[in-house]
Every structure is written in structure tokens, then in C-alpha cells.
Structure 1
Amino acid sequence: MFGRLTLPELLFASILGIASGIYIYQPIFEQYSRDQKELKEKLKLAQESEKKS
């Protein structure tokens, strides 16, 4: 069995890899979310000012 991974080891490595990827890229996801909220607010303000004109 030398040089091979068992199923539990493979599952553990996969879960660990996915979790670490989410942890590493979390600030990028948060920044994207903040940017989208700002764009929605700017669009809403632009539409409101258009309606008033």
C-alpha cells in the first residue's frame, strides 16, 4: 500500500483543500460583495435623481 492514499485520506485532503481555498480567497469575495452593493446604491440614486428631474 506504499505510495497510495486510502479513501478517508483522499476525502480529508479534498475537504482540507477546499476549506483552505475558501479561507484564502475570502477577502476577495468580501471585496466583490462590497463593490456590488456600492454599484447598486449608486444605480438606485441615479434612478431616483432621474425621476425627480
Structure 2
Amino acid sequence: MFGRLTGPQLLFASILGIAGGMYIYQPIFEQYSRDQKELKQKMKLAQESEEKKS
């Protein structure tokens, strides 16, 4: 099956496939990053309000 493709062609196809997958899923990665930042900010605010109460 692999007899028709050379090593560089397989390498190029693999790199292209990985890059394409990253391009397609980039919005999901960005949304996850934003959600994590918001969560950290909320945790920080909650911690500060706890400290003010005590």
C-alpha cells in the first residue's frame, strides 16, 4: 500500500493533516482558553471576597 508514496510525500501529507486539524479546531482551543481565564478571574474574586468577610 505504501509502495507508491515516497517518504517525503508521506511526511508532507502527515504535516499537512496535522496543520489542517489544528486550523479546524483552533476556535475550540481559543474558547477553552477564554473559559479558563474567566474561571481563574472568578476564583480570584471569590477568594478576595472571602478574605474581606473574615
Q: TM-score range by the shorter chain?
A: over 0.9
- Once residues 35 and 29 of structure 1 are traced to their aligned partners in structure 2, the CA distance between those partners, rounded to angstroms, is 10
> Unaligned 5+ residue runs, structure 1?
none
Aligned-partner SS, 1:38: helix
Q: Kindly, what percent of the aligned residue pairs are identical?
A: 84
Aligned-residue Cα RMSD (Å) equals 0.8
- TM-score, scaled to structure 1: 0.93
Structure with more of its chain in helix, by fraction: 2
> Unaligned 5+ residue runs, structure 2?
none
Aligned-partner SS, 1:29: helix
Query: Deviating runs (4+, > 6 A) in structure 1?
Result: none
Matched pairs, number: 51
